[in-house]
Structure 1
Amino acid sequence: MKDHRELYNAAVTEGRSPLDPLFLLLTLIFVAGYILISVIILAVCRYRAREAKLKIISQSLLLSLFSLFAWFVIVTILLQTEILTSRNAMIYYFIGYLLWSVVLRHLIGKHNIMPDYRKLFHILFKSAPTAIFLLDRKGSIIEMNPRANQWFEGIPVQQITSHFQCDDGPGFNEILALYVQGKDKAANMEIRMNNPDPNQGHMDLMMGFELIDGVNEQLFVMHLTDVTSLKDTERKLLESERGYKHLAHHDLLTDLYNRTAIREHLELKTAGNDWFALALIDLDNFKQVNDTYGHHVGDLYLRHIADTIKFGAKPGDLLGRIGGDEFVLIVPCSEQSEVNALINDRLSLLSETSFPHEATEIPISFSVGVSVYPRDTTDVTKLIKYADEAMYKVKRSGKNGSLIYSRI
């Protein structure tokens, strides 16, 4: 009735279940029916059993099945209410089934019944798609399934855990110590497996960790799920997000701050009531450079200007391009500072150089208008306007100079 892409949405890795609601319901009905039939069989066995031992065994198996069914229902509800993500829900489903299998193995070994179920447990253990380890109290690996052997081929068994790298929190040995001390009973964390074989690369793993009580000896069950592809996708998304943020605040040609970013920085600076000088730098005769040499050379010319100003800037300065041939330089200062000297110091290299293109030296000429916060105004818009007015006075009086804004 439905296409497989409707029944299972492979793109859903977080939030609700990737299964279609109808498919999920049918799956739960199947699981519930399977458990119900098992319960009926066990109930009949208990009713017909004459020995007290068999009644106890049947009752223990019934209780374990009810617990398994309750676990599946609880995890499904948490998944559908988006408290658990799909990835974590799958881990918890497997943990529940694994714990039930361990309890079943214990009952079989303890009461020496249905010995064939031992083979069933080993089939499950060996065919699991995740890597499963059985550890002793010291963290030594007692047994691992074929998937674990495949993932960690070539690494000595007792050295496997030493290659686990936890980004946050305690290390692997510290986690084991907490469990042994009884301070924690479960753990789920992301770890990275750094394979010494360069051809294998690294693996990002989701580690589930359980301390199993109630068996002849205390064991740790550790299972690892490969989430490398998911983590790689996550890293690419984060890199893309950083790239978009960078593009949103930087000029594409010069990689300096753009108008939006400069205004945001000015708002932050004025909020802190710090003194600073704002210099608007407008290139003289830039249109002639474009007309004479072409727009490609004009772009190279602008990049050279940006690099030169950046080279002459000091720590704490802010530099941006807010127009075609207009730059802004923000310099920290104080009430006693010689603002003109500060600006000329930053722009001295630009004044003394030219732009080399092939066999031609293209001269660099620019006009600068400067306003000072908060001496001239405390309003950002007016501060830019005053610097602009000072810069145009320089333009009208012959260009290639600088002027500090004055109301007179």
Structure 2
Amino acid sequence: MNDLFMDFLTSLLPEYQMQIVLYGNGPMLLLIICFLVHLCILIGSPATISLKRWLPVIYTTPFFLLFVFLMTKDHRLLYSAAVTDGRSPLDPLFLLLTVLFVAGYILLSVLILIVSWFRTRELKRKKILLSLLLSLFALFSWFVLVTSLLQMKDVTSRNAMILYFVGYLFWGIALRHLIGKHDLMPDYRKLFHILFQSAPNAILLLDKKGVIREMNPKAKQWFEGIPRRDILSHFQFDDQQNLGDRLALFCQGKEHEAQREVRIYNPSRGYMDLIMGIDLIEGNGEELFVIHLTDATSLKETERRLLESERSYKYLAHHDSLTDLYNRTGLQVQLEQKIEIRELFALVLIDLDHFKPINDTYGHFVGDLYLKHIAHMLTRHAQPGDLIGRIGGDEFVLVISCMDPRIDVNTMVHERLSLLKKHAFNHEGIDIPITFSAGVGLFPKDASDITTLLKIADEAMYRVKRASKMGM
């Protein structure tokens, strides 16, 4: 169970560690130790009845200090994600106060139970208080042990946090067993029921057959409108495995990840991205699955938007915004890949003739449409493995893969480019012909690098252009 719980804590999305610690684990830890004192006051009643009026102070003091820290200090100073060498990523003062509150509240709980044990005359109650006192001593000893290991740098701060929570987890299980064993007053059961009902996460209790026995209000809210028998079928995992099979593997010890990302769909609420944890406990003589779900929809949506922005940025960085062809940078990346695998190719540099008169006669808007038409024609007649790009205002590049060295490259290029001349650009019934000059550079025959290859193709293109003007 330790391994499962550690996996659950350490496998949370690493890019959100600061938010999880400052807004999740930190407040939850403070809430646990406040509940600890509260429970000891209730269990020690009536000897501790006078301490009930201090409960507001006990609850508000740590949370007030946490609020002050969050409001007065930059979050990156409170939790430095850059610290990975074993030291605590928390601000030293923030860490000190947290440790003092945890240790102080555990000691306060111990003192409350000791006072209650001395003042109680009932033998059964003394036995209960002594059992609780021993469990708290064990918890405090665990806290001191982990803190000592942390100070001696035998464990990292991250592992220490996991060990603290493991201690609280087992103490909570022992406390639950003690309450069931000694049949404490219904008020205590009611308190645990309140904790279950008010939990901010969705919790489902299932039997070994996968039948849902109980759900807390948050779970009922998330699955509202779905029949209880159909809820498990709404769990969607990336590996397409259903929840029933996953629970069976968990029982067999083959499901090593106790925490997974899952998506559920509720017709009335839409899709929700969740972090799902699984535990197996024993209650009333039978084993029950505890499935707890944490809403990560906003975090996953932010992650998706960031990934989409990154893809969009990469696309814009490598493509021409007018024609959607590769730009100079994009072509260079693609050509470097071809050169790396020593693929034979011909680089054709195409320079449009008379493009300026088109802009002057018809306007830049029509000029842009003319360029897009040429890009469309080049793309339409491209073959697998070809690359097409626009590297200047009226300059295009066509990269033709020629794996067979016996092929006459110049003849192949001529045939490919002649298709452009057959598809004039039509604007409002007027055909605007496509005229151009082109030069070819071969890899690796003419050059073995991109810069030289472009230079050779450029020189060949200008020779064609000059010859065309002299022919006129």
TM-score higher than 0.5: yes
Cα 1:305–1:73 change in 2 (3 A) is farther
Relative to structure 1, the CA distance from residue 70 to residue 325 in structure 2 (aligned partners, 3 Å threshold; closer, same or farther) is farther
Are residues 126 and 28 of structure 1, via their aligned partners in 2, closer, same or farther at CA, if it must alter by over 3 Å? farther
- The equivalent residue for 2:8 is none
SS of the equivalent of 2:399 reads strand
Contact kept, 8 Å, 2:77 with 2:91, in 1: the verdict is: no
Query: Does 2:259 match 1:193?
Result: no
Count of aligned pairs between the two proteins:
392
Q: Does the CA-based 8 Å contact 2:205-2:289 persist in structure 1?
A: yes
Q: Which residue of 2 aligns with 1:391?
A: 461
Q: 1:133 aligns with which of 191, 204, 214?
A: 204
Q: Which moved more, 1:346-355 or 1:164-173?
A: 164-173
Residues 99-128 of structure 1 show CA distances to partners (whole Å, capped at 9, x for unaligned) of 644432221111223442111100100011
> Residue 203 of structure 1 aligns with which residue?
272
Query: Are positions 1:380 and 2:446 aligned together?
Result: no
Secondary structure in 2 matching 1:204: strand
Tell me the residue number matched to 1:174. 245
Identity fraction in percent = 57
Cα distance change on mapping 1:64 and 1:194 into 2, 3 Å:
farther
* Alignment equivalent of 1:296, drawn from 352, 361, 365: 365
Cα separation, partners in 2 of 1:115 and 1:73, compared to 1, 3 Å:
farther
Task: Give 1:296-335 correspondences, 5 Å limit.
Answer: 296-333=365-402, 334-335=404-405
Q: Is the alpha carbon distance of 1:11 and 1:208 closer, same or farther for their aligned partners in structure 2, counting shifts above 3 Å?
A: farther
The one-letter amino acid of 1:392's match is Y
Match of 1:124 among 175, 182, 195: 195
Whether 2:226 is the aligned partner of 1:155: answer yes
1:68 Cα offset (Å): 8.4
Bigger CA drift: 93-102 or 329-338?
93-102
1:279 aligned to 2:345? no
What SS class does the counterpart of residue 437 from structure 2 fall into? strand
Instruction: State the one-letter code of the partner of 1:282.
Output: D
- Name the amino acid aligned to 2:468: G
In structure 2, relative to structure 1, the CA distance for the partners of 1:21 and 1:219 (3 Å cut) is farther
Letter in structure 1 aligned against 2:207: D
- Does 1:253 pair with 2:322? yes
Could you tell me which residue of structure 2 aligns to residue 404 of structure 1? none
Amino acid in the other structure paired with 2:71: R
| Aligned with 1:226 (options 271, 280, 295) | 295
Which amino acid is 1:105 matched to?
A: R
Q: Which residue of 2 aligns with 1:352?
A: 422
Q: Secondary structure at the match of 1:190?
A: strand
Provide the secondary structure at the position in 2 that maps to 1:218.
strand
1:6 aligns with 2:77: no
d(CA) in 2 for partners of 1:167, 1:14: 32
What is the CA-CA distance between 1:225 and the residue it aligns to? 0.8
Q: Give the conservation status (yes or no) of the 8 Å contact 1:186–1:210.
A: no
Report the AA paired with residue 234 of structure 1: E
Task: Pick from 98, 104, 110 the counterpart of residue 181 of structure 2.
Answer: 110
Local SS of the residue matching 1:398: helix
Read off the aligned partner of 1:370 and give its amino acid letter. V
CA shift in 2, pair 1:8/1:211, >3 Å: farther
Q: What's the CA shift for 1:44?
A: 5.0
Shift in Å at residue 264 of structure 1? 2.0
Quote how far apart the aligned CAs of 1:336 are.
0.5
Deviations 1:194-232 (Å, cap 9, x if unpaired)?
11x1x4110000112112258733222111111111111
Q: Do the aligned residues in 2 keep the contact of 1:282 with 1:325 (CA within 8 Å)?
A: yes
8 Å Cα contact 1:134-1:143 kept in structure 2: yes
How far is 1:57 from its partner? Answer: 2.2
**C-alpha separation between the residues in 2 aligned to 1:193 and 1:68?**
38
Query: For residues 400 and 341 of structure 1, what CA distance do their matches in structure 2 show?
Result: 23
2:439 counterpart SS class: strand
Distance 2:139 2:234 in 1: 37
For 2:460 and 2:249, locate their aligned partners in 1 and report how far apart those are by CA, in whole Å. 68
> Structure 1 stretch 8-17 or stretch 341-350: which is displaced more?
8-17
Q: Which residue type is aligned with residue 248 of structure 2?
A: A
What secondary structure does 1:154 align onto? coil
Higher helix share: 2
Q: Deviations over 1:318-344 (max 9, x none)?
A: 111111111111111121012123223
Pick the aligned partner of 1:340 from 410, 413, 426.
410
Structure 1: distance between partners of 2:362 and 2:111: 90
TM-score normalized with structure 2 length: 0.73
Q: Once the 2 structures are TM-superposed, how far is the Cα of residue 348 of structure 1 from its aligned partner?
A: 3.1
Contact 1:7 1:20 in 2 (8 A): no
SS of 2:209's partner is coil
CA distance 1:322–1:352, shift in 2 (3 Å): same
Per-residue CA distance 1:38-66 (angstroms, 9 max, x = gap): 12233455678867954762355325644
Query: Given the alignment, which residue of 136, 139, 153 partners 1:62?
Result: 136
Q: Distance in 2 between matches of 1:158 and 1:8?
A: 47
Q: State the Cα deviation string for residues 216-265 of structure 1 (Å, max 9, x = none).
A: 33222111111111111110000000000001111111111111121222
CA distance in structure 1 between the aligned counterparts of 2:244 and 2:145, rounded to whole angstroms: 29
Q: Which runs of 5+ in 2 are unaligned?
A: 1-64, 83-87
1:363 aligns with 2:433: yes
Q: Distance in 1 between matches of 2:224 and 2:144?
A: 38
State which of 263, 270, 294 in structure 1 corresponds to 2:339: 270
In structure 1, runs of 5+ residues without a counterpart are: 402-408
| Structure 1 position 268, deviation (Å) | 1.7
Cα 1:372/1:345, change in 2 over 3 Å: same
Tell me the TM-score normalized by structure 1: 0.83
Measured in 2, the distance between the counterparts of 1:380 and 1:388 equals 12
CA contact (8 A) 1:108 1:115 kept: no
Separation in 2 of the partners of 1:363 and 1:400? 20
Q: Distance in 1 between matches of 2:278 and 2:221?
A: 20
Given residue 390 of structure 1, which amino acid in structure 2 is its aligned partner? A
Indicate the RMSD between aligned Cα atoms, in angstroms.
3.8
Task: Answer with 18-27 or 348-357: which moved more.
Answer: 18-27
Corresponding position of 1:29: 100
When residues 268 and 189 of structure 1 are mapped into structure 2, their CA distance, relative to the original with a 3 A threshold, is: same
